[in-house]
Amino acid sequence: MKNVLIASTSTVHGEKHLEYLLPELTLLFQKCKTILFIPYARPGGISHNDYTKIAAQTFAKINLNVKGIHEFKDPTAAIEGAEGIFTGGGNTFLLVSQLYSNQIMSKLSEVVKKGTPYLGTSAGSNICGLSMQTTNDMPIVYPPSFQTLGLIPFNINPHYLDTEKQSTHMGETRETRINEFHAFNTIPVLGLREGSWLEVKNNKITLKGNLTARLFRKGEHPTELESDSNLTDLK
- Active-site residue, from 10, 97, 131, 137: 137
122: annotated active-site residue:
yes
| Neighbour order of strands in the sheet with 118-121 | 65-68, 34-38, 85-87, 118-121, 3-7, 197-201, 204-208
List b or e across 149-172, with b for residues whose CB sees 16 or more CB atoms inside 10 angstroms: bbbbbbbbbbbbeeeeeeeeeeee
Give the pairing of strands 213-216 and 223-225.
Answer: antiparallel
Distance between CA 73 and CA 231 in Å, rounded?
38
- Active-site residue, from 10, 122, 125, 131: 122
CB atoms within 10 A of CB 189: 26
Catalytic residue numbers, as ranges: 122, 137, 159
